[in-house]
């Protein structure tokens, strides 16, 4: 009798350990709840507090043909970015408009928001995670590898419309100045002496950093080169070939090579802030760094308006 009870207890323990609790969502390689695996999503997809978001552009998205069951669509161009009202190439959706988005999606203070990208590039999902954090949403996560990783692992998709959620009650906070850098702050840091300034990191490819290309992804910048003092860590170098993030150890090593530790002040930029949003996610949501800003004006704005003294065209960073 004792042996039978012991065996039943062991089976029960093994079964319970296989369930992935929503509070400890992790990928296989990264110990963070902010980056969830397809395994985690399958285990938690029926959670009534889950707000699953398919991020795309309304004019060319695959959402109508294929999306994860239960996912709502969020338009990157109008509900996360704000190029129509902003002086920046992308810009950030206004607080007033984002409040409308939160209501439409059914976001509450208890919601777990999980965004996923529809293409191999997860940049629009990381931008979305940055915006949700910018406006104070407390539990925001990304599906590592997005829709392609989901389908590659046998995850089911549908074209059926997702039922609307009850109207959301969460109100966006004032955009956090701790997560977003403006050009004045970037110029000031570029002028400061080493040791007193934030580490500015260029997340574009090496050719753009070295001044061999002036493209930004949304057009050609006024000049080629990089921000004075900036270090080069391309976002592509912290991602795997399938678009998933590299391990926490690999990301940490890449930034440690330019002197970035967990407490270092960091300002990230790229052409328009989109690439930099993925590096922001890696540093803050995967490594837990608390002093990292995305400069979404980025090179497109900086090359056109910053003083010549803080623009470098040579590859050597001071």
CATH number at residue 76: 3.40.250.10
Q: Are residues 200 and 245 in the same domain?
A: yes
Q: State residue 91's pLDDT score.
A: 85
Decide: 141 and 113 in contact? Cβ < 8 Å: yes
What is the arithmetic mean of pLDDT over 282-308? 94
State how far the Cα of 54 lies from the Cα of 157, in Å rounded to an integer. Answer: 12
Q: Are residues 284 and 221 in the same domain?
A: yes
Expressed as residue numbers, the domain containing 294 is 183-312
Say whether 266 sits in a helix, a strand or coil. strand
Decide: 236 and 244 in contact? Cβ < 8 Å: no
Decide: 288 and 206 in contact? Cβ < 8 Å: no
Q: State residue 289's pLDDT score.
A: 94
Q: Are residues 116 and 224 in the same domain?
A: no
Q: Are residues 230 and 303 in the same domain?
A: yes
Q: Where is the domain boundary, 100, 124, 158?
A: 158
What secondary structure does DSSP assign to 134-154, as a single string?
A: HTT-S-EEEETTHHHHHHHTT
Q: Following CA atoms 85, 121, 63, 87 in sequence, which dihedral angle do they give, to the nearest 10 degrees? A: 0
φ, ψ for residue 118, nearest 5 deg: -95, -15
Q: Following CA atoms 279, 156, 38, 63 in sequence, which dihedral angle do they give, to the nearest 10 degrees? A: 20
Q: Are residues 44 and 86 in the same domain?
A: yes
CA angle 291, 208, 92 (to 5 degrees): 45
Q: Are residues 116 and 205 in the same domain?
A: no
What is the arithmetic mean of pLDDT over 111-122? 95
Active site residue 314: no
Tokens, residue 270: 């790229």
Residue 251 has pLDDT above 70, yes or no: yes
Closest CA to 245 of 212, 280, 216: 280
Give the confidence band of 22 by pLDDT, cuts at 50, 70, 90: very low
Catalytic residue among 270, 278, 303, 306: 270
Q: Are residues 192 and 295 in the same domain?
A: yes
Q: State residue 1's pLDDT score.
A: 42
Q: Are residues 95 and 206 in the same domain?
A: no
Tokens, residue 9: 């207890």
Decide: 65 and 140 in contact? Cβ < 8 Å: no
Residue 308 lies in a domain: yes
Tokens, residue 92: 């950030």
Residue 4 has pLDDT above 70, yes or no: no
Residue 2 lies in a domain: no
Q: State residue 316's pLDDT score.
A: 45
The domain tally of the chain equals: 2
Q: Are residues 144 and 191 in the same domain?
A: no
Residue 208 lies in a domain: yes
Burial of 100 (0-12, 13-18, 19+ CB in 10 A): middle
Q: Where is the domain boundary, 108, 141, 158?
A: 158
Q: State residue 130's pLDDT score.
A: 98
What is the arithmetic mean of pLDDT over 6-27? 40
State how far the Cα of 133 lies from the Cα of 112, in Å rounded to an integer. Answer: 12
Q: Are residues 94 and 192 in the same domain?
A: no
Query: What is the average pLDDT value for the chain, to the nearest integer?
Result: 87
Q: Are residues 117 and 232 in the same domain?
A: no
Q: State residue 82's pLDDT score.
A: 83
Q: State residue 32's pLDDT score.
A: 72
Residue 222 lies in a domain: yes
The Cα-based distances of 31 to 36, 197, 262 in angstroms read 10, 30, 15
Residue 172 lies in a domain: no
Residue 254 lies in a domain: yes
Percent share of the chain, pLDDT over 90: 76
- Tell me the per-residue pLDDT of 200-213, one tens digit each, with 9 for 90 and over: 999 999 999 998 87
CA angle 204, 208, 212 (to 5 degrees): 165
Give alpha helix (H) positions in 65-107: 95-105
Q: Are residues 69 and 145 in the same domain?
A: yes
Closest CA to 283 of 201, 212, 211: 201
């Amino acid at each position: 009798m004792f042996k039978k009870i012991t065996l039943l207890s062991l089976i029960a323990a093994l079964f319970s350990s296989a369930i992935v609790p929503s509070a400890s969502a992790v990928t296989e390689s990264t110990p963070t709840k902010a980056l969830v695996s397809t395994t985690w999503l399958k285990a938690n997809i029926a959670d009534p507090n889950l707000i699953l978001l398919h991020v795309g552009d309304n004019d060319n998205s695959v959402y109508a043909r294929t999306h994860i069951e239960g996912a709502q669509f969020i338009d990157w161009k109008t509900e996360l970015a704000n190029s129509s009202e902003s002086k920046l190439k992308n810009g950030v959706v206004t607080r007033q408009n984002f409040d409308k988005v939160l209501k439409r999606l059914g976001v509450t203070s208890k919601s777990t928001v999980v965004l996923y990208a529809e293409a191999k590039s997860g940049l629009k999902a990381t931008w979305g995670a940055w915006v949700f954090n910018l406006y104070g949403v407390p539990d925001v996560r990304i599906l590592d590898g997005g829709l392609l990783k989901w389908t590659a692992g046998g995850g089911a998709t549908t074209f059926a419309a997702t039922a609307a959620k009850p109207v959301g009650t969460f109100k966006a906070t004032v955009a956090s100045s701790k997560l977003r850098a403006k050009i004045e702050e970037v110029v000031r840091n570029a002028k400061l002496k080493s040791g007193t300034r934030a580490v500015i990191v260029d997340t574009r490819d090496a050719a753009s950093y070295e001044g061999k290309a002036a493209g930004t992804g949304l057009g050609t910048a006024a000049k080629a080169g990089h921000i004075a003092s900036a270090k080069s860590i391309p976002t592509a170098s912290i991602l795997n070939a399938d678009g998933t993030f590299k391990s926490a150890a690999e990301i940490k090593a890449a930034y440690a090579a330019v002197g970035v530790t967990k407490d270092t002040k960091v300002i990230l930029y790229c052409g328009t802030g989109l690439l930099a949003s993925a590096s922001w996610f890696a540093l803050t949501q995967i490594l837990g760094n608390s002093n990292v800003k995305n400069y979404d004006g980025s090179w497109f704005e900086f090359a056109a308006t910053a003083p010549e003294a803080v623009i470098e065209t040579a590859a050597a960073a001071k």
